[in-house]
Structure 1
């Protein structure tokens, strides 16, 4: 069974307009499970492990975002990748853009997110798409990936323990983390929720998203309820507005 997942996209972000080239993917589960117990095993190297081109956001290209700000009476224009800090990016973002600094599980540095289309929902400045960046000592900021759910009622979320949630439909549980070296934003979990059967299956990983994933399939309603509850209860990112 295949369903549309959150789209990992790259686009040109200019004057609040996003042009996207998106891909979607779904994990395929082999074999059947005849018990109610959870089945889990480490995937072999030649199986899907979320580091192939289909799932790696870094293989999709680089956004070209120009920021503009006044410095000592002169107008400065530069590509976002030439910025030396997140604060420099914030200073040059167009009015109305959203931005947020936060930490993610498994990565020691700050992560920075921006969106050109924030909207108010439940008292928060949320968005269904965002670009993500990291910054390491001595280097410019680094673009690590983008997420887009394509729906206003499914904003990108951030849990208290530092995990991003961004599911394109209510039938998919998708989470994301930055690799420990701060180089890429990758899937942590990609699990289908079969609501009529109250079953779930997919691929999941621990906090090290560079490691191979584990295929997962369960007919235990407790597992199903756990994922549905996490999706519902995780709060949306509350972006600051420029």
Structure 2
């Protein structure tokens, strides 16, 4: 069985894709790169795999994003990493983009997510990928990681107790949290569901995702059904849409 999960993007920077634009108009898409006329994106990516206690993860480099907006008749242009608040990012996002502020278990501050491709056709404004940021007192906005599944049919979800869910296939149960210091987005749970055998195995953590994961294996169908039900019953994030 191929163990391929939702992609958690937290990698190193190397040469890659560059997209830039000017000041007015709507967002356009070129491949997997968002380009807009109100936001300048310079994204350098390198996709690679690494094997760890958490199985094999796909990673991408930190996105370099420059926002551009009008302030008192003057054009302000700065890197998203130089922004002092989430609201400053929001006013630089183009029409049609999605964003959301929320809290996650184990981290005291707000978490901010943006996506360039929210699905508005279902009336729920869901998305299969998003970039996540934190902001601590006295510091600029920090990019902590990104999550991507392979389909709008598997949107990123958020439980009422503050846990992110995003599974690339129906046979994988994956949850995510931000570390307590707000520095990284990491797996909380990464469990494979073997449908024919009705078994499950993987790595589990409590709210401290910086701690080593605990190996988990079960041949009890009740455990299998529990994870499937949790995944199905967790609501997808409904992104706010930039008007």
Q: TM-score, length-normalised on structure 1?
A: 0.80
**Residue 33 of structure 1: how far off its partner (Å):** 44
Higher RCO by CA contacts (8 Å cutoff, separation 6 or greater): 1
**1:129-150 deviations in whole A, cap 9, x for unaligned?**
0000000000000000000002
Q: 193-202 vs 1-10, which deviates more?
A: 1-10
Structure 1 unpaired stretches of 5+: none
1:40 alignment partner in structure 2: 40
**Residue 3 of structure 1: how far off its partner (Å):** 2.0
Work out the number of aligned pairs and report it. 242
CA spacing shift, 1:190–1:94, aligned 2, 3 Å: same
Secondary structure class of the residue paired with 2:50: coil
CA RMSD of aligned residues (A): 13.3
Contact 1:50 1:212 survives alignment (8 Å): no
Contact 1:5 1:26 survives alignment (8 Å): no
**Residue 2 of structure 1: how far off its partner (Å):** 3.2
Q: 152-161 vs 41-50, which deviates more?
A: 41-50
**1:174-233 deviations in whole A, cap 9, x for unaligned?**
000000000000000000011112111100100000000000000011100100001100
Contact 2:24 2:37 survives alignment (8 Å): no
Residue 172, structure 1, aligned to residue 188, structure 2: no
Contact 2:9 2:61 survives alignment (8 Å): no
Name segments (4+ residues, structure 1) moved above 4 Å: 10-60
CA spacing shift, 1:31–1:18, aligned 2, 3 Å: closer
Contact 2:54 2:213 survives alignment (8 Å): no
Q: Distance in 2 between matches of 1:36 and 1:81?
A: 18
Secondary structure class of the residue paired with 2:153: coil
Q: 36-45 vs 51-60, which deviates more?
A: 36-45
CA spacing shift, 1:37–1:4, aligned 2, 3 Å: farther
**Residue 91 of structure 1: how far off its partner (Å):** 0.6
Structure 2 unpaired stretches of 5+: none
